[in-house]
Structure 1
Amino acid sequence: MKIGLYFGTFNPIHIGHLIIANHMAEHSNLDQIWMVVTPHNPLKQKSTLLDDYHRLHLVNLATEDYPKIKASDIEFKLPQPNYTVNTLAHLKDKFPKYEFSLIMGEDNLNSLHKWKNYEYILDNHEIYIYPRLNSGEIDEQFVNHPKIHRVGAPVIELSSTFIRESIKNKKNIRPLLSEKVWEYVDDNNFYRK
């Protein structure tokens, strides 16, 4: 089984995340998409980041009607700060029959060379790239790399930061979240301050 790992803080998960995940599940050769909720780094100031388990719950709520997409808390159990290469090694040990790939925006491809052991990641895992506006010039080593696959997903320019700021400023952002996510965020007064 081919699993696409879509990492993020998902603070909160919004329709843009779901559109990308669903597009990857339906229009690539990936069998499932695991939305890996990045835990709060204990060394960083918490600011507006919701508790790990609230964010995981929001991802579960958002994906429960999508059989090919699931929430993952795999990084919650790993030492912090965590590196993608360590998560991949852990997953390979835990699920030896699965093949794990990464999903990332084209803008993140520009910093891939700064990742810990990025050469190892590229040698052993495929990367599925979705388009972003203003992603800049792509490093030449990644342009025609056999492990990097560009998927023509819709370009979604929607950010969790925009959603949090809008909630704080009492704007209606209901169409930007799935119904169950909106209800949970609203019922718990998240991001109001």
Structure 2
Amino acid sequence: MIAILKYNGGNVSSVQNALNRLGAESIITDDFELIKKADKVIFPGVGEASSTMKILKEKGLDQLIPSLKQPVLGICLGMQLMCKNNEEGNTVGMGIFDCNVKKFPSLDLVPHMGWNTVLDLKSPLFSEISEEDDLYFVHSFYCELSENTTSVCDYILPFSASLQKDNFFATQFHPEKSGKVGNKMLENFLKI
């Protein structure tokens, strides 16, 4: 069973639909016991960092998520809230990943929205995926490069397209909106 975290963040049903297409059983929940017992946990997100972190704190999920031992996948805002600090709303994150989240400089169109390639792939999430494959992004804030970076995207500047530390995986792009390549990535996560 895959637990998809319920916390009033956007994009939860898109993730569940993608898992349904793969034949994976999932539940959208904020129940601590169900989350702890799940084989895998997905922390998706679309929204604003400070208001989302406030909801996570009210539910106690900000303490639960870093304590999880099974594979956890953060997506987009989920990834950003797993970092140390976020310039959006001057938000303190969970500190799972040792990097900060910054606002793109307005040198080009922001948000970064659409298809882009990622380079320097270093994660089991990218098994059978190449640097030529496009993934779907939509974000105005980015995670800095760090020792946890497992792929890099270049839009205005190079940033972490994905991160990994121990059992925690995260992507800035949306695998659930990235067609066949995204489906393959979710399959790879389910095999971890």
TM-score (normalised: structure 2) = 0.32
Q: Which has the larger radius of gyration?
A: 1
Q: Which structure carries more relative contact order (alpha carbon 8 Å, separation 6+)?
A: 1
TM-score (normalised: structure 1) = 0.32
When you count helix as a share of all residues, which structure comes out higher? 1
When you count strand as a share of all residues, which structure comes out higher? 2
